[in-house]
Amino acid sequence: MTDEDKISQVIQSFRCLNQAFHKQFWHNADQLGVTVVQLHILKVLADEPGTGLNELAHKVNASKSTVSETVERLVQADLVKRERSTHDRRAIVLSLTPKGLEQKKTAYRAYLQRLGNISDFSTEEIETLMSLHRRLLNKITTQGDETK
Protein backbone atom coordinates (compact mmCIF):
# COMPACT_ATOMS: atom_id res chain seq x y z
CA MET A 1 0.00 0.00 0.00
CA THR A 2 1.37 3.39 -0.97
CA ASP A 3 1.58 6.32 1.44
CA GLU A 4 -1.15 8.05 -0.55
CA ASP A 5 -3.40 4.99 -0.22
CA LYS A 6 -2.84 4.90 3.55
CA ILE A 7 -3.75 8.56 3.91
CA SER A 8 -6.82 8.19 1.68
CA GLN A 9 -8.08 5.17 3.61
CA VAL A 10 -7.72 6.95 6.96
CA ILE A 11 -9.51 10.05 5.66
CA GLN A 12 -12.31 7.96 4.15
CA SER A 13 -12.72 5.99 7.37
CA PHE A 14 -13.11 9.16 9.43
CA ARG A 15 -15.54 10.62 6.88
CA CYS A 16 -17.71 7.52 7.14
CA LEU A 17 -17.60 7.58 10.95
CA ASN A 18 -18.39 11.29 11.02
CA GLN A 19 -21.39 10.75 8.74
CA ALA A 20 -22.63 7.86 10.87
CA PHE A 21 -22.37 9.87 14.10
CA HIS A 22 -24.05 12.86 12.46
CA LYS A 23 -26.87 10.64 11.18
CA GLN A 24 -27.45 9.27 14.66
CA PHE A 25 -27.40 12.80 16.10
CA TRP A 26 -29.93 13.87 13.45
CA HIS A 27 -32.21 10.90 14.28
CA ASN A 28 -31.86 11.79 17.95
CA ALA A 29 -32.92 15.39 17.35
CA ASP A 30 -35.77 14.32 15.08
CA GLN A 31 -37.04 11.84 17.67
CA LEU A 32 -37.21 14.67 20.22
CA GLY A 33 -38.88 17.10 17.82
CA VAL A 34 -35.99 19.56 17.64
CA THR A 35 -33.42 20.45 14.99
CA VAL A 36 -29.77 19.43 15.13
CA VAL A 37 -28.78 23.05 15.78
CA GLN A 38 -31.31 23.31 18.62
CA LEU A 39 -30.01 20.10 20.16
CA HIS A 40 -26.42 21.31 19.82
CA ILE A 41 -27.35 24.60 21.52
CA LEU A 42 -29.00 22.70 24.37
CA LYS A 43 -25.82 20.66 24.84
CA VAL A 44 -23.55 23.71 24.85
CA LEU A 45 -25.77 25.58 27.32
CA ALA A 46 -26.00 22.53 29.59
CA ASP A 47 -22.22 22.32 29.66
CA GLU A 48 -21.64 26.08 29.83
CA PRO A 49 -24.58 27.97 31.34
CA GLY A 50 -24.29 31.74 31.04
CA THR A 51 -22.89 31.66 27.52
CA GLY A 52 -23.39 34.76 25.37
CA LEU A 53 -24.84 34.70 21.87
CA ASN A 54 -21.53 35.39 20.06
CA GLU A 55 -19.71 32.65 21.94
CA LEU A 56 -22.61 30.26 21.39
CA ALA A 57 -22.57 30.94 17.64
CA HIS A 58 -18.85 30.17 17.60
CA LYS A 59 -19.27 26.95 19.59
CA VAL A 60 -22.04 25.58 17.36
CA ASN A 61 -20.26 26.79 14.21
CA ALA A 62 -23.23 28.77 12.93
CA SER A 63 -23.86 32.41 12.11
CA LYS A 64 -24.98 34.76 14.84
CA SER A 65 -28.28 35.40 13.05
CA THR A 66 -29.02 31.65 12.74
CA VAL A 67 -28.23 31.10 16.41
CA SER A 68 -30.23 34.16 17.43
CA GLU A 69 -33.33 32.91 15.57
CA THR A 70 -32.87 29.40 16.96
CA VAL A 71 -32.44 30.69 20.51
CA GLU A 72 -35.63 32.72 20.10
CA ARG A 73 -37.54 29.54 19.26
CA LEU A 74 -35.96 27.77 22.24
CA VAL A 75 -36.94 30.67 24.52
CA GLN A 76 -40.52 30.51 23.22
CA ALA A 77 -40.54 26.75 23.89
CA ASP A 78 -39.38 27.43 27.48
CA LEU A 79 -36.15 25.48 26.95
CA VAL A 80 -33.75 28.45 27.19
CA LYS A 81 -33.83 31.64 29.24
CA ARG A 82 -32.11 34.97 28.71
CA GLU A 83 -30.67 36.85 31.66
CA ARG A 84 -28.49 39.88 32.26
CA SER A 85 -24.89 38.98 32.95
CA THR A 86 -23.84 39.44 36.57
CA HIS A 87 -20.42 40.60 35.31
CA ASP A 88 -21.61 43.04 32.65
CA ARG A 89 -25.14 44.40 33.03
CA ARG A 90 -25.20 45.30 29.31
CA ALA A 91 -24.64 41.70 28.24
CA ILE A 92 -27.29 39.00 27.90
CA VAL A 93 -26.36 35.42 28.76
CA LEU A 94 -28.22 32.22 27.98
CA SER A 95 -28.99 29.23 30.18
CA LEU A 96 -31.26 26.24 30.09
CA THR A 97 -34.56 26.27 31.92
CA PRO A 98 -35.41 23.19 34.01
CA LYS A 99 -37.46 21.98 31.02
CA GLY A 100 -34.49 22.57 28.71
CA LEU A 101 -32.14 20.69 31.01
CA GLU A 102 -34.54 17.75 31.13
CA GLN A 103 -34.84 17.80 27.33
CA LYS A 104 -31.04 17.77 27.02
CA LYS A 105 -30.76 14.86 29.48
CA THR A 106 -33.44 12.93 27.60
CA ALA A 107 -31.63 13.60 24.33
CA TYR A 108 -28.29 12.46 25.76
CA ARG A 109 -29.75 9.21 27.13
CA ALA A 110 -31.41 8.49 23.79
CA TYR A 111 -28.19 9.25 21.90
CA LEU A 112 -26.17 6.91 24.10
CA GLN A 113 -28.81 4.25 23.61
CA ARG A 114 -28.57 4.68 19.82
CA LEU A 115 -24.80 4.22 20.05
CA GLY A 116 -24.96 1.40 22.60
CA ASN A 117 -23.35 -1.15 20.28
CA ILE A 118 -20.05 0.67 20.73
CA SER A 119 -19.90 -0.85 24.20
CA ASP A 120 -19.51 -4.26 22.55
CA PHE A 121 -15.85 -3.40 22.08
CA SER A 122 -13.59 -4.55 24.89
CA THR A 123 -11.85 -2.04 27.14
CA GLU A 124 -8.58 -3.07 25.53
CA GLU A 125 -9.96 -2.38 22.03
CA ILE A 126 -11.22 1.05 23.10
CA GLU A 127 -7.86 1.87 24.70
CA THR A 128 -6.07 0.80 21.49
CA LEU A 129 -8.43 2.92 19.40
CA MET A 130 -7.92 5.95 21.65
CA SER A 131 -4.16 5.48 21.53
CA LEU A 132 -4.25 5.34 17.72
CA HIS A 133 -6.41 8.47 17.63
CA ARG A 134 -3.94 10.36 19.84
CA ARG A 135 -1.02 9.23 17.66
CA LEU A 136 -2.85 10.21 14.49
CA LEU A 137 -3.80 13.59 15.91
CA ASN A 138 -0.19 14.14 16.95
CA LYS A 139 1.04 13.31 13.44
CA ILE A 140 -1.38 15.61 11.65
CA THR A 141 -1.22 18.52 14.08
CA THR A 142 1.33 21.13 13.16
CA GLN A 143 2.62 23.90 15.35
CA GLY A 144 0.11 26.70 15.48
CA ASP A 145 -2.90 24.44 14.96
CA GLU A 146 -5.62 24.83 17.54
CA THR A 147 -7.09 21.53 18.67
CA LYS A 148 -9.72 21.12 21.30
pLDDT tens, residue by residue, 110-129? 888 989 999 999 999 999 99
Strand order in the sheet with 80-84: 51-52, 92-96, 80-84
Cβ–Cβ < 8 Å for 34, 102: no
Where are the chain's structural domains? 3-117
Short-list 129, 116, 64, CA closest to 92: 64
Look up the pTM and report it.
Answer: 0.73
Q: Give the C-alpha separation, 73 to 37, whole Å.
A: 11
Q: Tell me the β-bridge partners of 93.
A: 52, 83
Look at the domain 3-117 and name its fold. Answer: Arc Repressor Mutant, subunit A (1.10.10)
pLDDT tens, residue by residue, 66-93? 999 999 999 999 999 999 888 778 888 9
